[in-house]
Structure 1
Amino acid sequence: MVDLKLLYHDLVRFEMELWGAVDARLRAECDLQLTWFEVMRLLGRRGGCRVLDIAEEFGITVGGPARWSTGSRPPSTAGVAPIRTTGGLRSSS
């Protein structure tokens, strides 16, 4: 019988290691965090989003995307150009 707790633990560990490896390579080659890359992919697919759309897509609160839409960014993205989309980011209200 499969030990589901061990399987879950292994899957979570693998996901964390994979995310870390992809993030490190993307930072080294493009000076871009994986988190920002994922948001940029979403914006590229949709051509523009509301803050609520981004939050729903990634299963997060609207706080982060709302700060991004006003130009506030994590310190490690200081050299990355601002995200611009047709129509820009807009709040859901």
Structure 2
Amino acid sequence: MTIIVDDLLVRPFFQVLESLQAIAMNELYDIEDIRDRMKENQLLYEMGERDEEEYQQRRRELEAELEVAEQAHEQLSDKSIEVRG
């Protein structure tokens, strides 16, 4: 009887949590958004609205952010998310 209750109550709860985690991770580490910001940075530099130093600094920040996002998506697809504090 306990196994049936666990299957009916606990398993769906954990499936919902996993789905919420996946949604949050996708929103937090939105690869397309980062790529869009990289394009915007390039465009601002080409239009002369951003000097080279500012452009390079922002480019490095966005590349690092993109790397983290890609790793997070890889871990999410492997379901091996590690939380580091």
TM-score by length of 1: 0.31
TM-score by length of 2: 0.34
The structure with more helix, counted as a fraction of residues: 2
| Structure with larger Rg | 2
